[in-house]
Amino acid sequence: MNRIILSDSQRAQFDRDGFLAMRGLFSADEIHDIRSTFMAAAKDGPVPGLSDVPKAREGAPAVSSDPLSFYPRMLSPHKHADKPVGPLAMRYMHDARLRPILAELFAEEPFACSSMFYFKPPGARGQDLHQDNFYLRVKPGTCMAAWVAVDDADEDNGGMMFVPQTAGLDIACPEMADPSLSFTTEHVEPPPGLQPQMMRLKAGDVLFFNGSVIHGSTPNTSADRFRRSLIFHYVPKSTVEMSHYYEALSFDGAKHEIAVNMEGGPCGATQDVLTGQH
């Protein structure tokens, strides 16, 4: 396996903060392919069995005025081999450029367990601060995301925010998020003295971050800029348990059996479905 050796400063940042941006990992042609394939899949609105239409909540925009009612995120596209997004998502989820970075950050072999695509059109709400391992419930370690920027992303169009120095936190039981700003329901308050920082990304950049890091995104307040992203989650080979929603695949495509985490989690109730990230 070819390895990408991270610099000392990159490792120090990841060890301290739990997140790292690898710039220009995917080419402009590859990003165009990803963008056009998913936009073609969404041209007529939500796709049954693939699109995750936000549920109606008090304080949230009416369906008729919510851009996410036409462009909801797509969950687990890699499982839809019958659609063009399926083979594409599976191919990039197992991309050879991701494997050595994940292996170095995990310090062991990674296994893929989920894929998602976010459209985030102009006017769309963001997602409040949260921790990914609240949903994946990986044990004994944590999960890792590879977040592929399919558009340039910044504070204007609802870019990603991370709270530094939260990589080693326990998973918290969230509070209720503001439905006018977030399309999901969870909010995790950062520790005193720590504030979220906006990550400014270019299309083709990939963010790697672990499942304990507090992160989220702002609403897309731009007039005409999407903030699309293709997101994969991975677990280390030593994982003993995780949420029943996921199955682990090696980079060679073989299924890796992992027991279901039957514990209730920090809120005392099992998370039965992925309510989403980012």
**Residue ranges of domains in the chain:** 8-43+66-259
Would you state the pLDDT for residue 3? 60
Alpha helix stretches (DSSP H) within 83-208? 85-93, 98-106, 133-136
Percent of the chain topping pLDDT 70 = 94
Would you state the pLDDT for residue 4? 61
| pLDDT band at 278; cut points 50, 70, 90 | very low
Measured distance CA(188)–CA(173) in Å, rounded: 7
Would you state the pLDDT for residue 53? 84
Would you state the pLDDT for residue 5? 80
Would you state the pLDDT for residue 267? 86
Three-state SS at 265: coil
Torsion (CA) 125, 151, 211, 169 in degrees, nearest 10:
-70
**Would you state the structure tokens that stand for residue 255, as one six-digit string?**
């299924």
DSSP 12-76: HHHHHHSEEEETT-S-HHHHHHHHHHHHHHTTTS--TTTB-PPPP-TTSPPGGG-GGGTS--EE-
pLDDT mean over 195-215: 97
Measured distance CA(163)–CA(197) in Å, rounded: 6
pLDDT mean over 53-68: 77
pLDDT mean over 226-249: 96
Domain 8-43+66-259 has CATH 2.60.120.620: yes
pLDDT mean over 129-154: 97
Burial (CB count within 10 angstroms: exposed 0-12, middle 13-18, buried 19+), residue 146: buried
Measured distance CA(170)–CA(148) in Å, rounded: 26
Judge whether residue 211 has pLDDT over 90: yes
- For the chain, the average pLDDT equals 92
Q: Which residues, at least 6 apart from 32, have a Cβ–Cβ distance to it below 8 Å?
A: none
Judge whether residue 120 has pLDDT over 50: yes
| pLDDT band at 269; cut points 50, 70, 90 | low
Would you state the pLDDT for residue 276? 47
pLDDT in tens, 30-54: 999 999 999 999 999 999 999 998 7
- Which residue, among 144, 154, 147, has the nearest Cα to 22 in the 3D structure? 147
Burial (CB count within 10 angstroms: exposed 0-12, middle 13-18, buried 19+), residue 27: exposed
